[in-house]
Structure 1
């Protein structure tokens, strides 16, 4: 095990919530809590990315974003990490592949908001991600219908689970995904950045 990486045992169910977290906000916390409950996860790791290739402007430094995110959390089952910086990966497909090598036997689930499913087909090697880990999609304001109709959802239609099967998502062989509804938070990192002004 590399120094600085979280500890995980084979058989554990761990959700991976990636993003710039620039800054982390209550919406991230709500998604995390819902994912742990609905998918019966043992842990959720927040993967604070060095940068998002789909975003025009670069985020604040990783250490600053990690520190802010950690101050928001009180549940010890949620771990805020800079794993992508530690591993030297930029693309989600590379990060997931590396984690599966480092943590054999751990049952990872990729977590995303429904707004991300809308653009999932634009991610680098998105179908490789879907082939490596089950995907838990949590509804976000204004994107539920678009997510269900998205190109990725259409391609993965046969792999979609029912809501009744959501609790077994981590045990499913990929590709497998499910879209679940949750109480909405309209907070977004973009809005919070504009509200707090320039750094």
Structure 2
């Protein structure tokens, strides 16, 4: 549920945050969202459709197109597709998380990402702050499971690894890795086939 573009969340609710350019959103995003809700004990998931990825040289398709596609693909009563980063004027994940924690005191946020992102998570702005302040749910992606778990961030916070089912209520630093059935589809593959933009 949303009020004037801002999702509604109650105190004590556990909300998973799945960020990305969603250029375009696809069945793989839907799959990991549904699995994250089940495995990490999430009440809701908010898709944070980003204005752009600071780690990518080329910008994505226009925000309105990406949001419309995401809403068409992800039809679930507990999932909200948002433009919160554009609305708040944040560019980096740590900035977004700080702003959301101020706006939604008492809501428990869990950052969600694929194992491919865990591999290079140490390149993210203020990544240590993220790990120390927000539980992180890592979802297996084709070819990235083992390398993600051996990456710099995983090694630095190995003592914070918890079972997936307790992640939503765990105090950070806490992260969990969920092995799940793979859906081998990516936005870059869809763009390469000329099916989007």
The TM-score, its normalising length taken from structure 1, stands at: 0.95
- For 1:48 and 1:196, locate their aligned partners in 2 and report how far apart those are by CA, in whole Å: 21
Aligned to 1:152: 153
1:106-125 deviation line (CA, Å, top 9, x unaligned):
01100000000001000000
Which of residues 164, 167, 172 is equivalent to 1:166? 164
- Unpaired stretches in structure 2, ≥5 consecutive residues: none
Q: What's the counterpart of residue 95 of structure 1?
A: 96
Q: CA RMSD in A?
A: 1.4
- 1:143 and 1:197 map into 2 onto residues whose CA distance is 25
Q: Which runs of 5+ in 1 are unaligned?
A: none
Query: Which residue of structure 2 lines up, in the alignment, with residue 36 of structure 1?
Result: 37
Instruction: Check if 1:177 corresponds to 2:175.
Output: yes
How far is 1:197 from its partner?
5.6
Conserved 8 A contact 2:19-2:48: yes
Q: What secondary structure does 1:17 align onto?
A: strand
> Does residue 97 of structure 2 align to residue 116 of structure 1?
no
Give deviations 1:57-111, integer Å, cap 9, x for gaps: 1001111101100001221111000100000000000000000000011011000
SS at match of 1:196: coil
TM alignment of 1:70-149, pairs within 5 A? 70-149=71-150
Taking the aligned partners of 1:82 and 1:129, their CA distance within structure 2 comes to 20
TM-score, scaled to structure 2: 0.96
